[in-house]
Structure 1
């Protein structure tokens, strides 16, 4: 029997309730647990994400080096335009979009607290450089 039975990503932020709602809506997830300083959600595919209160949290500054990436989430979708509309409607913002004249395979975003994440179509065709 495994000593560790599960794992999840935890993001620090000033307002975990608000950020949990952003990801709950984006992933069509359900609340699993909540306390005064932490909210956890679980998506239908089993992906778990927790948001932990840190009143001194600062948003990552990637790609600038002064505050680094800290964490990076990646999601997979077929309708990148539809996902982008939903992200923006929930308070997220695009940070990278590739060539505006054609479909892109990967797009970068920031959630309302400034954490970066990527939405990509299918399996990446080549490793990311840099």
Structure 2
């Protein structure tokens, strides 16, 4: 048995309840634990995220170059356009600077608190030969 087990990603934000709700709906998940300063959720596929209250939290500036990308989340999707409609409908916003008219392998967004994340197409799997 390993001494250290994998944990979860924790995002700091001013209002963890509101941010947890965004990810609960995006990931079709459930709340695992909640306290006055932390909300933990588990997505339908098992991914775990937590949101910690920090009254002084400021969102990262990505994709602006003056600050480096501190961390971001990647989510795999089958349909980029459908994912974008859902994200924007839940209060997220596009931050990718690419021309939005073409189909890209990935697109960048910010959640309602300004944390960046990317949605990427699930890589196609070739059928087995033989």
Kept in 2, the 8 Å contact 1:20–1:39? The answer is yes
- Structure 2 residue ranges without an equivalent (≥5): 125-130
Kept in 2, the 8 Å contact 1:22–1:90? The answer is yes
CA distance in 2, matches of 1:17, 1:88: 19
Structure with higher Rg: it is: 2
Task: Specify whether residues 63 and 99 from structure 1 end up closer, same or farther in structure 2 by C-alpha distance, changes over 3 A only.
Answer: closer
Query: Which moves more between the two structures, 58-67 or 11-20?
Result: 58-67
Partner of 1:15: 15
Partner of 2:105: 105
Secondary structure, counterpart of 1:96 in structure 2: coil
CA distance in 1, matches of 2:22, 2:100: 26
CA distance in 2, matches of 1:70, 1:54: 17
Number of aligned positions between the proteins = 124
Q: Give the TM-score taking structure 2 as reference length.
A: 0.88
Query: Which moves more between the two structures, 107-116 or 63-72?
Result: 63-72
CA distance in 2, matches of 1:65, 1:58: 16
CA distance in 2, matches of 1:63, 1:102: 19
CA distance in 1, matches of 2:72, 2:49: 12
Partner of 2:46: 46
Offset from partner CA, 1:68-99 (integer Å, 9 cap, x none): 32220000001111110110111000011634
Secondary structure, counterpart of 2:122 in structure 1: coil
Q: Give the TM-score taking structure 1 as reference length.
A: 0.88
Query: Which moves more between the two structures, 13-22 or 90-99?
Result: 90-99
Q: How well do the aligned residues superpose, as a CA RMSD in angstroms?
A: 1.6
Offset from partner CA, 1:29-56 (integer Å, 9 cap, x none): 1000000000000012211000000000
